[in-house]
A and B are shown apart, each in its own frame.
Chain A
Amino acid sequence: MGELKLAQGGGKSERERVRWLGHEILPHEQDVRAWLRRSLVTSNDVDDVIQESYCRLANLKAVEQIESPRAYFFQTARSVVLEQMRRARIVRIDAVTEIDALRIEWDEPSPERIAGGRKELERVMKIVATLPERSRRIFEMRRVLGLSQKEIARQLGVSENVVENEAARGLKAVLAGLAKADANVAPSSTGERRA
């Protein structure tokens, strides 16, 4: 922690870590959230654990040796929860038993999850499609044409600030959308085992 270097564009290793998080961790966030939701009280707690887990995963010295990022994500989230419980003075008894009972769905990802990154990207793009026109256009110009925010501002005839704000607004909507329970996934604990 605290060693994050955020200079212009970021260093190569930083960009690689961002990529790794996006491609190897993010696709499993839904499942980790669903798993946490079954044992934790509020969605706020779930968000806390997710944020804390990302912080730890991002600060790992090396990630290349991690064979199953999915399993690693589950384990990290689990240890975050256990630590929080240890710190808390009052712990719901059932929470403790639950977190143990809920051990480990990570070795059986649902068939959809195997498609992994691509599926997640589709999910992201679906949310992007619901954004207001201007926001959508900015992300499209970034992605399809590879234009920078600065170039986009020039092409659209608006200030760079406008583009940045619009991008931030769109990103917020996507982050919030990704945190929501997927309507297609049944909230029961057997939800992922449908054949």
Chain B
Amino acid sequence: MNWCLVFIRNQSFKAMQALCVGGLCMLFTFAGAAQAQEEINAERSEQLGYMLKHDCGSCHGMTLKGGLGPALLPELLQGKGHTVDSLSVIIRSGVPGTAMPPWGPILKEEDIRWLSTHLLQSDLN
């Protein structure tokens, strides 16, 4: 695991803003983070869907309508201008100053992009 400063390209303003809360732009990254998304098989996608509902759901609500953390419904995320890239940054690095932890240490890059992609779609339930 290596912590390093990275320059963010092609990320939305919203994600930049979120990351810069607390003045920290330390990002966790994996080699090859920008590589094309690897294939997620059916078993893994089932695990990730379960995790999103139950573990992300412990803060964001099981139906993602919010709780301690904000609601993550697709129309809300789209309305805020989020993209797969911007959501991936938040999931990977967390949001300093809030309860959102960095998931980079325990999820692979393709897992994070799968979660971001599905959060923006309405196909989870």
Q: Do A and B bind each other?
A: no
B residues whose Cβ falls under 8 Å from a Cβ of A: none
